[in-house]
Amino acid sequence: MTAGIVLVHGYTGSPRGLDLLKRRLEESLAPVEATSVLLPGHGGDAAPAFAAGEYLGAVAAEAGRFQKAGRDVVLIGHSTGGVLALAAMAEHSITPKLLVLASVPNRIDGTYLERWRLHSAGKTDITFASMAHMVSLTNRIGSQARPGEYPVLIVHGERDELVPCREAFAWRSRFAGPVRTVIVPGAGHDPFTSGEGGFAFDVIVRAAADALHVPTDEEAETVRRLVAAEPSAARFLARSPGSAGHLARSPGARQPRADSSVLGAVATSEPVFANIEITTRCNLRCAFCARTSIPREERDMPEDRFGRLLDLLPHAWRITLVGLGEPLMHPGVDGFIHEGHSRGRRVALVTNALLLTEEMSRRLIAAGLDAVVFSLDAVVPGPAAIVRPGASIDTLIDNIKTFGTVSSNTRPVSKAVFSAVSTTTAPHLERLVETVARLGVDVLMLSDLNFAANLPHALWQNADERTRAVIHRAVRKAFSLRLPVLSVDGLEEFAPAARYRDSLLIPPSRLYHRSDHRRFCLSPWQTLPLDVDGASTLCDCQPGEGLGNVLELPFGEIWNGIRMRDHRRRMLARPGPRPCAVCPRY
C-alpha cells in the first residue's frame, strides 16, 4: 500500500498555500498520496473562531485514514498548522514516519503583536478570544517534550517576518528522535510560494523519500556487513536510521568495490562522506599544496554554520575536517568535533601537527575525535625545508608521539600518516618509513603528487630506476617493521581497518602509476567537499571547480545537477578528464 502525506495549513492560511508543495511531493514520490486538510470554518471569507478541538479532529481524521489502512504517514504543518499537527499526534496517538514543521512558532510572546499586525494587514480581523486560544495552544505544545523516536525536519525562512528564525532552533530540544533544522535562504514566513520555494521543496521531498524508503534485502545485507566491520556506522545509524539506504547504495559500501558498470551520471545515494574546511588559515605554505595557487581570504567558519551544513547532509556518516587551511588554526576546532560526534558522525581531521600540543590533544579526544591523519612528507631537514618551509620536524614528531600517548591513556583514536611523495622526497623515503614506524600510528599512506602544476615534481613519468628501487626498499622495510603502507586507493573505503589488504601498496610501483580511465575513485558518487562558506566543488582534487553553495541552492541541483552529472559521465569515459588523468587517486 502507498504511504500518505498530510499537509496542515496555518490559522490564517488555506490548503491553496500548500498546493505547490503537495504537487511536488506527489510527482516526486509517486504513488504516494498527499492530502491537504481544510481546517473547519476556513472555506469562506469570514474569520473563523479558533476551534482547537475541531481542528485537531480534522487532522486526526486524515492521518487516521492512512493509519487504519496500515499505511505510513508523513505529517507536514505550516505555521500554526505545525502546532495543530503536534497536538493531534499527542491527543490521537499518531506516530508519523516523519514530522515536518515549517515556520512554526515555539512560543508566542508580546513581541509578536506588531509582527502579527503587519503580517495580517488586509486580512479579516481575528477576535481577541481566538487569538488568546491560539496563543495558549501554541505555548502549551511548544513547551512539551516529545518522547517518540520519529524523525523531525524543521524548515524555516531566513527572513520570516512573523516567526523569528531563532524559533526553529528552539524546537530541537523538544524531540527525542533525530532532528534537522534547515534555514531556507531569502524566504519569509511562507517558504512554499516565494522564489525560494525550490530550496524548501527539495529538502522536504528528500526527507520524505528517506522516511518512506523500504530497504531491499540487498541493502539490508550490505548494511549488516558494514556495521559488522565498522562500529561507528552502527552508532550513526542508531541516530539516523533513514541513512541506511544511502549507505547501502553508496559504491564504497559494496563488495567488491563498485566498478564502472554500476556507476552512472546520477548518484543513487546522497553523500555519505563530507570533507569540510573550517578555516582558510594555515601556518605553512607547502610547495605542492593547492593553497599556494588559489588565493584565499583568511577566515574561520562559525560553528552554527557547521551545524547547518550537517543538517543539509543528513547521511554524511564520515566527516573529515580538511581543506586548504589547517584545522587546528580554528580556535573552536574541538567544538566542531563535538558537534559532529554528538550527531553520531565519525569525525576525523587532517593536520600538519605543528599545533598539536598535549592540551590540544586532550581537547580533541575529549570532544569525540575518531581519527586523525598527520601530514608528513619528509623527516630529513633539507628536503623537508623545500616541500614544507618553516615546519619544525622535531616539533611535529614530538606532537604526534604526545597525541598517541594521550590517546592510549584516554580513548583510542585511529591514527595515520599521509605522505605526498615527490622527486624531492622520494630518495629519503626509507628515513620517513623508519621514523613513522616509531610513532605508533596504524598506517602510512603514500601518494604521488596531484595537480597538473606539480607534474614536473611528481614521480609519474619522472621516476628513474634508482628512485623506483628506493621506493621498493622503503615499502619492504615498512612491512618488515609491521607498518602497513597503503595506496590512495583506500581513501574512499568505508571500513579501512577491515579492508587494509585491498589497499596495500603492493606492488610498490602502484605509487607512481596512472590510468587513462577510472579505476578506483568513487568521490563524485559519495563524497562532497565543502569550503568555509559552504560552497561545494567537484572533488577535493579540483578545488577551483565550484558547484554552488549548499546553503543557498537546492541540494539536488548541486549533487545531481547538470555539472555533476556531466563530470561523472566524463569520469566514466576513456580517456577521462585531464585533471583526473594526472590524479593518483583516479
Flag whether pLDDT at 50 surpasses 80: yes
pLDDT at 120 over 80: no
If one counts every other C-beta atom within 10 angstroms of the C-beta of residue 159, the result is: 15
Residue 46 has pLDDT above 90, yes or no: no
Q: Which of 325, 372, 326 is nearest to 346 (CA)?
A: 372
Q: What is the pLDDT of residue 148?
A: 84
What's the count of helices (H) and strands (E) in the chain, helices before strands?
22, 16
Confidence of residue 41 (pLDDT cuts 50, 70, 90): confident
For residue 350, pLDDT over 80 is answered with yes
SS3 575: coil
Mean pLDDT (whole number) for 307-333: 97
Residue 27 has what pLDDT?
94
CA max distance for the chain? 90
Label each residue of 368-432 as H, E or C: CCCEEEEECCCCCHHHHHHHCCCCCHHHHHHHHHHHHHHHHHCCCCEEEEEEEECCCCHHHHHHH
Residue 257: helix, strand or coil by DSSP?
Answer: coil
pLDDT digits (tens, 9 = 90+) for 51-93: 999 999 999 999 999 999 999 999 999 999 999 999 999 999 9
% pLDDT > 90, the chain = 76
The arithmetic mean of pLDDT across residues 286-300, rounded, is 86
- Averaged pLDDT score across all residues of the chain: 92
β-bridge pairing 535-537 and 546-549: antiparallel
The 10s digit of each residue's pLDDT in 425-443 is 999 999 999 999 999 999 9
How far apart CA 544 and CA 191 sit, in angstroms, is 32
Band of the pLDDT at 195, cuts 50, 70, 90?
Answer: low
How many other CB atoms are there within 10 angstroms of residue 435's CB atom?
A: 17
Q: Is 218 exposed, middle or buried (0-12, 13-18, 19+ CB in 10 A)?
A: exposed
> Could you tell me the pLDDT band of residue 117, with boundaries at 50, 70 and 90?
confident
Quick one: cell of 230? 565498522
Q: Is the pLDDT of residue 8 over 90?
A: yes
**What local confidence, expressed as pLDDT, does residue 7 receive?**
98
For residue 348, report the phi and psi dihedrals to the nearest 5 degrees.
Answer: -130, 165
Task: Say how far apart CA 82 and CA 80 lie, in whole Å.
Answer: 5
468-471 — which CB contacts under 8 Å span 24+ positions?
A: 468/508, 468/509, 468/512, 470/426, 470/427, 470/429, 470/430, 471/421, 471/426, 471/429, 471/508, 471/509, 471/511, 471/512
Confidence at residue 509, expressed as pLDDT on a 0 to 100 scale: 93
* Tens digit of each residue's pLDDT (9 = 90 or more) over 136-149: 999 999 999 888 88
Mean pLDDT calculated for residue range 530-551: 94
Cα separation, 183 vs 103, whole angstroms: 10
Give the pLDDT confidence score for residue 543 in this predicted structure: 87
Residue scoring higher pLDDT (315 or 195)? 315
Q: What is the mean pLDDT of residues 526-540?
A: 95
Please check the confidence at residue 131 and state whether its pLDDT lies above 80. yes
Confidence (pLDDT) at 196: 61
Look up residue 314 and give its three cell numbers.
543528513
* pLDDT band at residue 262 using 50, 70 and 90 as cut-offs: confident
Cβ neighbours for 43, distance < 8 A, ≥ 6 positions apart: none
Read off the pLDDT of residues 367-379 as tens digits, 9 standing for 90 and up: 999 999 999 999 9
Q: Which residues pair with 448 in a beta bridge?
A: 421
- What does the alpha-carbon distance between residue 458 and residue 424 come to, in Å, rounded to a whole number? 9
Q: Which residues pair with 5 in a beta bridge?
A: 34, 74
Q: What is the pLDDT of residues 147-158, one digit of tens each?
A: 888 999 999 999
pLDDT of residue 417: 97
Least confident residue range of 367-381, 490-504, 569-583: 490-504
Q: For residues 274 and 520, which has the higher predicted lDDT (pLDDT)? A: 274
Lowest mean pLDDT among 132-146, 181-195, 198-212, 320-334: 181-195
- Least confidently predicted of 269-283, 324-338, 482-496: 482-496
Per-residue pLDDT at 289: 87
